[in-house]
Amino acid sequence: MPAHTPPLRLAVVATVYRYRSHAQHFCDRFMVGYPHQGRWHRPNTRVVSLYVDQQPVNDQSLDRAREFGFEIYPTIAQALRCGGDRLAVDAVLIMAEHGDYPRNEKGQILYPRYEFFKECIQVFQEDGRAVPIYNDKHLSYSFAKAQEMVADAHRLGFPLLAGSSLPVTWRLPPLELPLGCEIEEALVVGVGGSDPMDYHALEALQCMVERRQGGETGVRAVQLLEGDAVWQAGEAGRWSHELLESALSRSDSPRGLTEEDGRTQDLLGSGELYRLVENPAAYFIEYNDGLRATLLMLNGAVKDFCFAARLKGVSEPQSTQFFLTPGPNVSYSACLVAKIEEMLLTGRAPYPAERTLLVSGVLESCLTSRVQGGQRLETPHLAVTYQPPVESQFARE
């Protein structure tokens, strides 16, 4: 963008704006810049307004507003109109992650992503103009609400980007599955709590398997098992020991004996995995085209997210780690900011929101399976189809 071009005006709609919140990670970068491809990149953007739902004791919104010269408004509509009577921004960033919100019976945090989004839609409809939206992480804890959000974007004709940093961060090694490949089975290892971190792992899985022959076909059934049932399912062939070994081989953070004295470990072959993981969880996903994929949440064994798949005609499993750089800078979030900026400049999302829609629905259905005692659930509502981008969007420099 030429230097003389006026900066794009951004409205931020956030649950909280505090140290290491998603609003701080992402929105700061639009104000001060971020590292990108070996240089410091300053986007031609200006945050002009903020709506923040909660202001905890470590709130940074007032300090940021004073430092960077934007206004904090009491409603979302006022933030989008900058206190006037018409839409006055070029894009909206919805950062509804973190803050004090209740959980439902499935353990999902009821972040008001849908409610924030619908208030933006109301402004778009009333003012006769729509602008791009980035919606951080899930579209919603509810698939029905998430589906409505994607439909709104299509109906009003604005680009919508959603999701997390894992699909666009660096990969070790830089694995890109060939577009149109035949995937026989896939597995991803994740860590952390539900529902924030299993979402990350499921989206990492999805950005890989969507590249299979025919594109995405949707999901016909899911099941979530916990505890000893996970290991029993492995012995019964529900998930592949070979793929788990391949995924674990990409981890840089084995725990247990490695932390104690630095030795390398074959976590699976030695059996140490079963000692380290006190409460494993397995998310089984059956796609409409017959592909079967598994997320294993292995808290206590490793600290990173790793993927493996078996491709038709390839003798060895293909595997990689989704590399997450350390805090407080967490520069992997800059990889996602670059994708948001790309959407703002081109008017097109670099990958479809349907990916996030499907992942949001898979997670909700898996958590429903858990509260129903680990039952296998048919999911005809998850018939979400789309074509992936021609090139994977992960960072390479």
Kindly list the structural domains of the chain, giving each domain's residue range(s) and its CATH number in brackets, ordered by start: 8-167+330-350 (3.40.50.720), 170-322 (no CATH)
Question: Model pTM?
Answer: 0.96
The residue written with tokens 């951004």 in the block is: 10
Q: How far does Cα 292 stand from its chain's mean position?
A: 21
User: Alpha-carbon Rg of the chain, whole angstroms?
Assistant: 21
H or E element in which residue 99 lies:
none
Distance between CA atoms of 222 and 287, rounded to whole angstroms?
A: 9
For the sheet with 318-322, list strands across it: 171-172, 318-322, 305-311, 183-190, 292-297, 281-287, 219-226, 377-378
Structure tokens at 312: 């038709």
Q: What is the DSSP letter of 178?
A: P
Tens-digit pLDDT string for the chain (397 aa): 555 799 999 999 999 999 989 999 899 999 999 998 899 999 999 999 999 999 999 999 999 999 999 999 999 999 999 999 999 999 999 999 999 999 999 999 999 999 999 999 999 999 999 999 999 999 999 999 999 999 999 999 999 999 999 999 999 999 999 999 999 999 999 999 998 899 999 999 999 999 999 999 999 999 999 999 999 999 999 999 999 999 999 999 999 999 999 999 999 999 999 999 999 999 999 999 999 999 999 999 999 999 999 999 999 999 999 999 887 777 888 999 999 999 999 999 999 999 999 999 999 999 999 999 999 999 999 999 999 999 999 999 8
Termini Cα distance of the chain: 21
Backbone angles phi, psi at 162, to 5 degrees: -145, 170
Quick one: which of 57, 45, 60 has its CA closest to 14?
Answer: 60
Distance between CA atoms of 250 and 189, rounded to whole angstroms?
A: 10
